Amino acid sequence: MNYYKEIKNKLIDNEIYAKVKDYSKERHRVITYFEIGRLLTEAGSKYGEDIIQKYSDKLMIEVGKKYNKRTLFRMKQFYIIFSNEKVSPLATQLTWSHYTELLPIKDKNKMLYYVNIFIELNLSRNELRNRIKSNEYERLPLESKNKLLDKEKSKVTDLIKNPIIIKNKYNYEIISEKILKQLIIEDIESFLEELGSGFTFIKSEYSIKIGDTYNYIDLLLYNIKFKCYVVIELKITALKKEYIGQIQTYMNYIDKNIKTIEENTTVGIIIVKRNDKYIMEYCSDERILTREYVFI
């Protein structure tokens, strides 16, 4: 087989197709690059790994300057990663511009996490890039990563990052709970993304009456995907055991007075300056979790 000639013809065909078939050109390009990746892999095993350099030198002259060594290497890498029969159905669901963000990632599980997030949320290239830059995958608990790897059924709390990133756009040096809440509410979309998928904002300072006393939940959310209320308490100190009792009271109130029988039990998240694993170790309520926050 003349590998170079076949690669060249596929690239020329793709260039023509891109000018004529606007509605499906991106999918065609991804399929073409996948096939070229296969040809490069086969040619490399037959003629040596330096074949990519030789082919790119000729292609840049005969087809276009963008087909340099780095681009051909990415095509080969793309094929190697997505030729696995378990992940190959994902290959054509992203654009090549998305793959240029993903292919530098060396950890395959990390890459597949972002592929699945893209498919679920239909992220733009910039949105995908920002998630990668924020180390979203690295901030997932190890247990959650293992669940994703084993394709186990997830819980509402599984994709909540730690720490949670909050934008301090006014560069406050002294942070009170009021200011922390203000920063979150002013950029509520980013905050909900940090928590995972399906979260919606109901109200801040949500009022509940326990006996003759009014109490105020810092943030009350609802998760559409998991059909449950989510109580958020914000603290600017390290975790204390009394915070757990406080949020349990709020969660129990929501379950007794607001939740319907079709909905799942309420989840509680305490966002603190610093976590304390020993306190959480002795907290028997699995509905409660804690996360630290950091400012950018």
Q: What's the pLDDT tens digit per position in 121-159? A: 889 999 999 999 999 999 999 989 888 877 788 889 999
- Rounded mean pLDDT, 103-110: 92
- Domains of the chain as residue ranges with CATH: 3-93 (no CATH), 154-295 (3.40.1350.10)
Q: What's the pLDDT tens digit per position in 9-51? A: 999 888 888 776 665 778 888 989 999 999 999 999 999 989 9
Q: What is the pLDDT of residue 273?
A: 96
pTM across the whole model? 0.84
Q: What is the pLDDT of residue 93?
A: 83
Band of residue 87 on the pLDDT scale cut at 50, 70, 90: low
Band of residue 241 on the pLDDT scale cut at 50, 70, 90: very high
Band of residue 112 on the pLDDT scale cut at 50, 70, 90: confident
Give the torsion sign (CA, 58, 63, 65, 67): negative
Angstrom CA distances, 189 to 137, 193, 244, 291, stand at 19, 6, 26, 18
**Phi, psi at 19, each rounded to 5°:** -85, -20
**Pairing outcome for strands 199-210 and 213-223:** antiparallel
Give the torsion sign (CA, 139, 140, 145, 151): negative
Q: What's the pLDDT tens digit per position in 157-174? A: 999 999 999 999 999 988
Band of residue 88 on the pLDDT scale cut at 50, 70, 90: low
**Mean pLDDT (the chain, rounded):** 92
H or E stretch including 199? strand 199-210
- Is pLDDT at 276 greater than 80 in this prediction? yes
3-class DSSP assignment, residue 276: coil
